[in-house]
Structure 1
Protein backbone atom coordinates (compact mmCIF):
# COMPACT_ATOMS: atom_id res chain seq x y z
CA UNK A 1 0.00 0.00 0.00
CA UNK A 2 1.27 3.45 -0.89
CA UNK A 3 1.34 5.64 2.18
CA UNK A 4 1.24 9.36 1.59
CA UNK A 5 1.64 11.60 4.60
CA UNK A 6 0.84 15.31 4.57
CA UNK A 7 3.03 17.41 6.85
CA UNK A 8 2.14 20.91 7.98
CA UNK A 9 3.11 23.38 10.68
CA UNK A 10 2.53 26.89 11.91
CA UNK A 11 -1.03 27.43 10.73
CA UNK A 12 -1.49 30.29 13.24
CA UNK A 13 -5.28 30.59 12.87
CA UNK A 14 -5.04 31.51 9.16
CA UNK A 15 -8.29 29.83 8.07
CA UNK A 16 -7.95 30.54 4.33
CA UNK A 17 -4.41 29.11 4.34
CA UNK A 18 -5.56 26.06 6.33
CA UNK A 19 -8.32 25.59 3.75
CA UNK A 20 -5.66 25.61 0.98
CA UNK A 21 -3.61 22.97 2.82
CA UNK A 22 -6.67 20.79 3.49
CA UNK A 23 -7.73 20.99 -0.17
CA UNK A 24 -4.18 20.11 -1.27
CA UNK A 25 -3.93 17.11 1.06
CA UNK A 26 -7.38 15.86 0.05
CA UNK A 27 -6.51 16.22 -3.65
CA UNK A 28 -3.25 14.32 -3.08
CA UNK A 29 -5.12 11.51 -1.32
CA UNK A 30 -2.93 11.48 1.79
CA UNK A 31 -3.51 8.70 4.33
CA UNK A 32 -2.43 10.77 7.34
CA UNK A 33 -1.76 14.44 8.13
CA UNK A 34 0.87 15.47 10.68
CA UNK A 35 0.85 18.97 12.21
CA UNK A 36 4.07 20.13 13.91
CA UNK A 37 2.42 22.69 16.17
CA UNK A 38 1.21 26.28 16.41
CA UNK A 39 -2.42 25.65 15.55
CA UNK A 40 -2.96 28.55 18.03
CA UNK A 41 -6.72 28.35 18.82
CA UNK A 42 -9.28 25.53 18.85
CA UNK A 43 -11.53 27.21 16.24
CA UNK A 44 -9.14 25.95 13.52
CA UNK A 45 -10.66 22.52 14.13
CA UNK A 46 -13.57 23.43 11.88
CA UNK A 47 -11.32 23.77 8.80
CA UNK A 48 -9.12 20.83 9.80
CA UNK A 49 -12.20 18.63 10.17
CA UNK A 50 -12.53 18.77 6.36
CA UNK A 51 -9.44 16.57 6.03
CA UNK A 52 -10.29 13.17 4.56
CA UNK A 53 -7.33 11.64 6.42
CA UNK A 54 -6.76 11.43 10.19
CA UNK A 55 -4.79 14.25 11.83
CA UNK A 56 -2.05 13.84 14.44
CA UNK A 57 -0.22 16.78 15.91
CA UNK A 58 1.92 18.23 18.65
CA UNK A 59 1.68 21.45 20.60
CA UNK A 60 3.69 24.50 19.60
CA UNK A 61 4.81 27.47 21.66
CA UNK A 62 1.81 29.58 20.53
CA UNK A 63 -0.79 26.96 21.37
CA UNK A 64 -2.24 28.70 24.41
CA UNK A 65 -5.60 26.97 24.52
CA UNK A 66 -4.22 23.48 24.96
CA UNK A 67 -7.33 22.10 26.62
CA UNK A 68 -9.47 23.22 23.69
CA UNK A 69 -7.00 21.77 21.17
CA UNK A 70 -6.98 18.52 23.15
CA UNK A 71 -10.77 18.42 23.16
CA UNK A 72 -11.39 19.45 19.53
CA UNK A 73 -8.39 17.87 17.77
CA UNK A 74 -7.07 15.26 20.18
CA UNK A 75 -3.67 17.00 20.47
CA UNK A 76 -1.99 15.95 23.70
CA UNK A 77 1.78 15.75 23.17
CA UNK A 78 4.79 18.03 22.77
CA UNK A 79 6.69 15.17 21.12
CA UNK A 80 5.17 12.35 19.09
CA UNK A 81 6.91 9.23 17.79
CA UNK A 82 5.45 7.21 14.94
CA UNK A 83 6.29 4.22 12.80
CA UNK A 84 5.20 5.05 9.28
CA UNK A 85 5.53 2.08 6.95
CA UNK A 86 8.80 1.06 8.62
CA UNK A 87 10.16 4.59 8.95
CA UNK A 88 10.85 5.77 12.49
CA UNK A 89 9.58 9.32 12.83
CA UNK A 90 9.67 11.85 15.66
CA UNK A 91 7.72 15.10 15.51
CA UNK A 92 8.08 18.16 17.70
CA UNK A 93 7.50 21.87 17.28
CA UNK A 94 11.21 22.62 17.58
CA UNK A 95 11.27 25.62 19.89
CA UNK A 96 14.62 24.50 21.34
CA UNK A 97 17.16 23.91 18.55
CA UNK A 98 19.29 21.79 20.90
CA UNK A 99 16.48 19.25 21.20
CA UNK A 100 15.93 19.12 17.42
CA UNK A 101 19.67 18.65 16.93
CA UNK A 102 19.83 15.93 19.61
CA UNK A 103 17.03 13.95 17.92
CA UNK A 104 18.78 14.25 14.55
CA UNK A 105 22.25 13.38 15.85
CA UNK A 106 20.95 10.43 17.86
CA UNK A 107 20.35 8.59 14.56
CA UNK A 108 17.42 6.80 16.25
CA UNK A 109 14.97 8.23 13.72
CA UNK A 110 14.74 8.15 9.96
CA UNK A 111 12.85 11.45 9.96
CA UNK A 112 12.64 14.35 12.42
CA UNK A 113 9.67 16.61 11.67
CA UNK A 114 9.78 20.08 13.13
CA UNK A 115 8.25 23.54 12.68
CA UNK A 116 8.65 26.79 14.62
CA UNK A 117 11.08 28.67 12.34
CA UNK A 118 8.46 29.18 9.60
CA UNK A 119 11.23 28.39 7.08
CA UNK A 120 10.81 25.32 4.93
CA UNK A 121 13.80 23.03 4.59
CA UNK A 122 15.16 19.52 4.36
CA UNK A 123 18.46 18.69 6.01
CA UNK A 124 20.45 15.46 6.18
CA UNK A 125 22.13 14.65 9.48
CA UNK A 126 23.87 11.32 9.00
CA UNK A 127 21.10 8.87 8.08
CA UNK A 128 18.38 11.13 9.54
CA UNK A 129 16.35 13.62 7.52
CA UNK A 130 15.12 16.76 9.30
CA UNK A 131 12.00 18.14 7.61
CA UNK A 132 10.50 21.55 8.25
CA UNK A 133 7.42 21.99 6.04
CA UNK A 134 7.58 25.76 6.56
CA UNK A 135 4.53 27.79 7.46
CA UNK A 136 1.02 27.20 6.24
CA UNK A 137 0.02 30.68 7.42
CA UNK A 138 2.54 32.54 5.24
CA UNK A 139 2.86 35.32 7.83
CA UNK A 140 6.65 35.53 8.16
CA UNK A 141 8.04 34.35 4.82
CA UNK A 142 5.09 35.06 2.53
CA UNK A 143 5.27 31.42 1.39
CA UNK A 144 2.47 29.05 2.35
CA UNK A 145 4.03 25.60 2.26
CA UNK A 146 3.52 21.98 3.30
CA UNK A 147 5.43 18.73 2.82
CA UNK A 148 4.46 15.36 1.39
CA UNK A 149 6.10 12.13 2.53
CA UNK A 150 5.65 9.13 0.27
CA UNK A 151 6.76 6.10 2.31
CA UNK A 152 6.68 3.75 -0.69
CA UNK A 153 8.91 5.93 -2.86
CA UNK A 154 10.84 7.00 0.27
CA UNK A 155 10.65 10.63 -0.75
CA UNK A 156 9.84 13.97 0.88
CA UNK A 157 8.75 17.01 -1.13
CA UNK A 158 8.05 20.52 0.09
CA UNK A 159 5.35 22.27 -1.93
CA UNK A 160 4.30 25.90 -2.27
CA UNK A 161 0.52 25.82 -1.71
CA UNK A 162 -0.12 28.85 -3.94
CA UNK A 163 1.93 27.87 -7.00
CA UNK A 164 2.32 24.09 -6.65
CA UNK A 165 6.08 24.60 -7.09
CA UNK A 166 8.34 21.98 -5.47
CA UNK A 167 10.53 23.92 -3.05
CA UNK A 168 12.62 20.96 -1.91
CA UNK A 169 12.88 17.24 -2.51
CA UNK A 170 14.90 14.42 -1.00
CA UNK A 171 14.97 10.65 -1.23
CA UNK A 172 15.39 8.68 1.98
Structure 2
Protein backbone atom coordinates (compact mmCIF):
# COMPACT_ATOMS: atom_id res chain seq x y z
CA UNK A 1 0.00 0.00 0.00
CA UNK A 2 1.28 3.48 -0.86
CA UNK A 3 0.32 6.11 1.70
CA UNK A 4 0.66 9.84 1.11
CA UNK A 5 1.38 11.80 4.27
CA UNK A 6 0.83 15.52 4.75
CA UNK A 7 0.60 17.98 7.61
CA UNK A 8 0.34 21.66 8.40
CA UNK A 9 -1.48 22.78 5.28
CA UNK A 10 -2.64 25.99 7.02
CA UNK A 11 -5.16 27.01 4.35
CA UNK A 12 -2.52 27.30 1.59
CA UNK A 13 -4.80 26.16 -1.23
CA UNK A 14 -2.19 26.31 -4.00
CA UNK A 15 0.23 24.17 -1.96
CA UNK A 16 -2.56 21.74 -1.06
CA UNK A 17 -3.40 21.49 -4.78
CA UNK A 18 0.25 20.56 -5.53
CA UNK A 19 0.19 17.87 -2.86
CA UNK A 20 -3.11 16.48 -4.12
CA UNK A 21 -1.82 16.46 -7.70
CA UNK A 22 1.35 14.60 -6.64
CA UNK A 23 -0.57 12.05 -4.55
CA UNK A 24 -3.01 11.43 -7.40
CA UNK A 25 -0.21 11.09 -9.97
CA UNK A 26 1.68 8.62 -7.75
CA UNK A 27 -1.50 6.59 -7.22
CA UNK A 28 -1.55 6.59 -3.43
CA UNK A 29 -4.05 4.25 -1.80
CA UNK A 30 -4.58 6.42 1.28
CA UNK A 31 -3.73 9.95 2.40
CA UNK A 32 -3.00 10.72 6.04
CA UNK A 33 -3.10 14.31 7.29
CA UNK A 34 -1.39 14.99 10.64
CA UNK A 35 -3.38 18.13 11.45
CA UNK A 36 -3.53 21.90 11.06
CA UNK A 37 -5.86 22.09 8.08
CA UNK A 38 -7.07 25.32 9.77
CA UNK A 39 -10.41 26.04 8.03
CA UNK A 40 -13.08 23.87 6.42
CA UNK A 41 -12.69 25.54 3.01
CA UNK A 42 -9.56 23.39 2.41
CA UNK A 43 -12.17 20.78 1.51
CA UNK A 44 -12.27 22.32 -1.98
CA UNK A 45 -8.78 20.99 -2.77
CA UNK A 46 -8.73 17.89 -0.55
CA UNK A 47 -11.88 16.51 -2.18
CA UNK A 48 -9.87 16.22 -5.41
CA UNK A 49 -7.90 13.35 -3.85
CA UNK A 50 -8.61 10.03 -5.55
CA UNK A 51 -7.65 8.13 -2.39
CA UNK A 52 -9.47 8.22 0.94
CA UNK A 53 -8.34 10.85 3.46
CA UNK A 54 -7.83 10.10 7.15
CA UNK A 55 -6.47 12.57 9.63
CA UNK A 56 -6.36 14.18 13.03
CA UNK A 57 -6.88 17.65 14.40
CA UNK A 58 -3.96 20.00 15.01
CA UNK A 59 -3.58 22.85 17.47
CA UNK A 60 -4.67 25.44 14.87
CA UNK A 61 -7.83 23.58 13.89
CA UNK A 62 -10.31 25.75 15.77
CA UNK A 63 -13.28 24.95 13.56
CA UNK A 64 -13.49 21.30 14.58
CA UNK A 65 -17.22 21.00 13.86
CA UNK A 66 -16.74 22.51 10.42
CA UNK A 67 -13.76 20.28 9.64
CA UNK A 68 -15.71 17.26 10.84
CA UNK A 69 -18.61 18.16 8.56
CA UNK A 70 -16.35 19.04 5.59
CA UNK A 71 -13.80 16.22 5.84
CA UNK A 72 -15.00 13.73 8.45
CA UNK A 73 -12.09 14.55 10.80
CA UNK A 74 -13.05 13.76 14.38
CA UNK A 75 -9.98 12.62 16.34
CA UNK A 76 -6.79 13.88 17.94
CA UNK A 77 -5.09 10.48 17.71
CA UNK A 78 -5.76 7.87 15.05
CA UNK A 79 -4.59 4.27 14.64
CA UNK A 80 -4.23 2.87 11.14
CA UNK A 81 -3.32 -0.68 10.12
CA UNK A 82 -1.87 -1.26 6.67
CA UNK A 83 -0.22 -4.43 5.36
CA UNK A 84 0.45 -5.65 8.88
CA UNK A 85 1.97 -2.34 9.96
CA UNK A 86 0.61 -0.51 13.00
CA UNK A 87 0.59 3.24 12.47
CA UNK A 88 -0.29 5.94 14.99
CA UNK A 89 -1.13 9.47 13.81
CA UNK A 90 -1.13 12.58 16.00
CA UNK A 91 -0.38 16.24 15.47
CA UNK A 92 2.45 16.15 17.98
CA UNK A 93 1.89 19.31 19.97
CA UNK A 94 3.20 17.65 23.14
CA UNK A 95 6.71 16.25 22.65
CA UNK A 96 6.37 14.04 25.74
CA UNK A 97 3.41 12.27 24.13
CA UNK A 98 5.29 11.83 20.83
CA UNK A 99 8.30 10.44 22.71
CA UNK A 100 6.06 8.11 24.75
CA UNK A 101 4.58 6.61 21.58
CA UNK A 102 8.08 6.15 20.15
CA UNK A 103 9.45 4.58 23.33
CA UNK A 104 6.43 2.29 23.71
CA UNK A 105 7.50 0.33 20.61
CA UNK A 106 3.81 -0.50 20.06
CA UNK A 107 3.79 1.05 16.58
CA UNK A 108 5.81 0.47 13.45
CA UNK A 109 5.30 4.07 12.32
CA UNK A 110 4.49 7.23 14.26
CA UNK A 111 3.21 10.02 12.03
CA UNK A 112 3.28 13.52 13.45
CA UNK A 113 3.33 17.14 12.33
CA UNK A 114 3.34 20.43 14.25
CA UNK A 115 7.05 21.34 14.02
CA UNK A 116 6.84 22.25 10.31
CA UNK A 117 10.17 20.45 9.86
CA UNK A 118 10.44 17.22 7.91
CA UNK A 119 12.03 14.29 9.69
CA UNK A 120 12.46 10.54 9.52
CA UNK A 121 13.89 9.09 12.72
CA UNK A 122 14.34 5.54 13.96
CA UNK A 123 13.56 4.82 17.61
CA UNK A 124 14.07 1.13 18.33
CA UNK A 125 11.74 -0.73 16.01
CA UNK A 126 9.57 2.36 15.42
CA UNK A 127 10.01 4.97 12.71
CA UNK A 128 8.87 8.53 13.38
CA UNK A 129 7.78 10.43 10.27
CA UNK A 130 7.10 14.14 10.11
CA UNK A 131 6.30 15.13 6.52
CA UNK A 132 7.11 18.76 7.27
CA UNK A 133 4.77 21.52 6.15
CA UNK A 134 2.68 21.60 3.01
CA UNK A 135 2.11 25.34 3.47
CA UNK A 136 5.79 26.36 3.44
CA UNK A 137 5.12 29.29 5.77
CA UNK A 138 7.70 28.55 8.49
CA UNK A 139 10.63 26.83 6.76
CA UNK A 140 10.01 27.92 3.19
CA UNK A 141 10.00 24.24 2.18
CA UNK A 142 6.71 22.69 1.09
CA UNK A 143 6.93 18.94 1.65
CA UNK A 144 5.00 15.68 1.90
CA UNK A 145 5.97 12.09 2.61
CA UNK A 146 5.25 8.69 1.10
CA UNK A 147 5.11 5.46 3.08
CA UNK A 148 5.31 2.31 0.96
CA UNK A 149 4.18 -0.52 3.24
CA UNK A 150 5.13 -3.27 0.75
CA UNK A 151 8.64 -1.97 0.04
CA UNK A 152 8.85 -0.83 3.69
CA UNK A 153 10.30 2.57 2.92
CA UNK A 154 9.58 6.22 3.67
CA UNK A 155 10.58 9.19 1.56
CA UNK A 156 10.03 12.91 1.92
CA UNK A 157 9.52 15.01 -1.21
CA UNK A 158 9.86 18.75 -1.83
CA UNK A 159 6.56 19.81 -3.43
CA UNK A 160 8.11 22.61 -5.48
CA UNK A 161 10.95 20.59 -7.04
CA UNK A 162 9.62 17.05 -6.48
CA UNK A 163 13.15 16.16 -5.37
CA UNK A 164 13.68 13.83 -2.40
CA UNK A 165 14.54 15.44 0.94
CA UNK A 166 14.84 12.27 2.97
CA UNK A 167 14.63 8.49 2.68
CA UNK A 168 14.68 5.50 5.03
CA UNK A 169 14.12 1.78 4.60
CA UNK A 170 12.13 0.25 7.43
The alignment's C-alpha RMSD in Å is: 0.4
Say whether residues 1:33 and 2:66 are aligned partners: no
CA shift at 1:101, angstroms?
0.2
CA shift at 1:164, angstroms?
1.1
- Counterpart among 90, 97, 100 of residue 98 in structure 2: 100
Aligned position for 2:154: 156
Aligned position for 2:109: 111
When the two structures are superposed, what TM-score results if normalisation uses the length of structure 2? 0.99
> Runs in 1 of length 4+ with deviation above 3 angstroms?
none
Secondary structure, counterpart of 2:114 in structure 1: coil
- Counterpart among 22, 28, 47 of residue 45 in structure 2: 47
What are structure 1's unaligned runs of at least 5 residues? none
What are structure 2's unaligned runs of at least 5 residues? none
What is the alpha-carbon distance in structure 2 between the residues aligned to residue 134 and residue 44 of structure 1? 18
Aligned position for 1:145: 143
1:82-126 per-residue CA deviation (whole Å, 9 max, x = no partner) reads 111110000000000000000000000000000000000000100
Aligned position for 1:91: 89
Equivalenced residue count is 170
Aligned position for 1:74: 72
CA shift at 1:28, angstroms?
0.3
Aligned position for 1:19: 17
Aligned position for 2:124: 126
Aligned position for 1:65: 63
What is the alpha-carbon distance in structure 1 between the residues aligned to residue 128 and residue 150 of structure 2? 18
What is the alpha-carbon distance in structure 1 between the residues aligned to residue 98 and residue 160 of structure 2? 28
